Amino acid sequence: QVQLVESGGGLVQAGGSLRVSCAASGRTFSTYGVGWFRQAPGKEREFVAAISWTGGTTYYAESVKGRFTISRDNAKNTVYLQMNSLKPEDTAVYYCAARLRRAATDESGFSSWGQGTQVTVSS
């Protein structure tokens, strides 16, 4: 069992930056890492980025590559998503989830979703 809590969302102007955090507790040793997803109203939840606990291997959606950086602090069991050059289309609720398998980049590879944190980017 893994519990995840997102934080750090807020309102930012286009071109600005924001960092969201995902604090994990419980049996983190049983997971491969953490992924970030986002969901805007009326849209499907989409993959954003993922990272492994061991080795720090990262994966990014093409839409955020070069702008977002996922990282982790294993001592704190926390994963971060640094979001730079934000665009209005980045507006969404951002969720983190436990990664259940290697190289997972879709929802079927994740579980124990957090409650989400709202990120709003104004134009």
pLDDT, tens digit (0-9, with 9 covering 90-100), for 59-93: 999 999 999 999 999 999 999 999 999 999 999 99
Residue 1 confidence (pLDDT): 81
Where residue 52 falls among pLDDT bands split at 50, 70, 90?
A: very high
Residue 73 confidence (pLDDT): 94
Do residues 97 and 27 lie in contact, with contact meaning Cβ atoms separated by under 8 Å?
Answer: no
Beta carbons within 10 angstroms of residue 16's beta carbon: 13
Say yes or no to pLDDT of 29 above 80.
no
Where residue 12 falls among pLDDT bands split at 50, 70, 90?
A: very high
Residue 21 confidence (pLDDT): 98
d(C-alpha 109, C-alpha 67), whole Å:
24
d(C-alpha 50, C-alpha 32), whole Å:
10
Residue 113: name the closest of 100, 95, 101, 94 by CA.
95
d(C-alpha 98, C-alpha 37), whole Å:
11
Residue 28 confidence (pLDDT): 81
Q: How far apart are the first and last CA of the chain?
A: 40
Over range 42-64, report the average pLDDT: 95
Tokens describing residue 27 = 């049996």
Residue 58 confidence (pLDDT): 96
pLDDT digits (tens, 9 = 90+) for 108-123: 999 999 999 999 999 9
Residue 117 confidence (pLDDT): 98
Q: What mean pLDDT value characterizes the chain?
A: 95
Do residues 35 and 20 lie in contact, with contact meaning Cβ atoms separated by under 8 Å?
Answer: no
